[in-house]
Amino acid sequence: MAGEIEIRKGEGKWIQFTVTRGGSALNLVSAQDYLFAIKADEDSDDYLFAKSGESFDTTQAALGLVRVNVSPSESNALGQGSFVSELRIVLISGEDEDKSTIIPFEVRPSIIHT
């Protein structure tokens, strides 16, 4: 997972994550929970937006791939600006929980076609 997630205000987008451990894709079939969250900044404890559990597409979890959809209404509600996001995966509650580094999340102005 690298770089920045970029979306246009009012756009819907699937965001895909490849989860690795020790340089190899991690089989996520047995994961108990997922959380993708967006915060105003890294120091904030409050989520502006969060998706968990069944919001994730896990059809390729055996390959370490999961994805989550940000809908047009959700990106519109966030508004234009710079945010931070993170992915958390719970394999075994209290024992094996992985949290990504902070991922920049940018909502750009919408493009209006006339």
SS3 16: strand
pTM (predicted TM-score):
0.85
DSSP string for 39-50: ESSTT--SEEEE
Which CA distances in Å does 87 have to 21, 58, 74, 96?
Answer: 14, 14, 17, 14
Q: Would residue 87 count as lying in a domain?
A: yes
Is the pLDDT at 32 greater than 50, yes or no? yes
pLDDT tens for residues 79-108?
999 999 999 999 887 777 778 889 999 999
* Domain containing residue 78: CATH number: 2.60.40.10
Q: Would residue 103 count as lying in a domain?
A: yes
Structure tokens that stand for 107 in this block:
């909502």
**Which domain, by its residues, includes 29?**
5-108
pLDDT level of residue 23 (50, 70, 90 thresholds): confident
Counted domains in the chain = 1
Q: Would residue 113 count as lying in a domain?
A: no
pLDDT of residue 112: 65
Q: Would residue 114 count as lying in a domain?
A: no
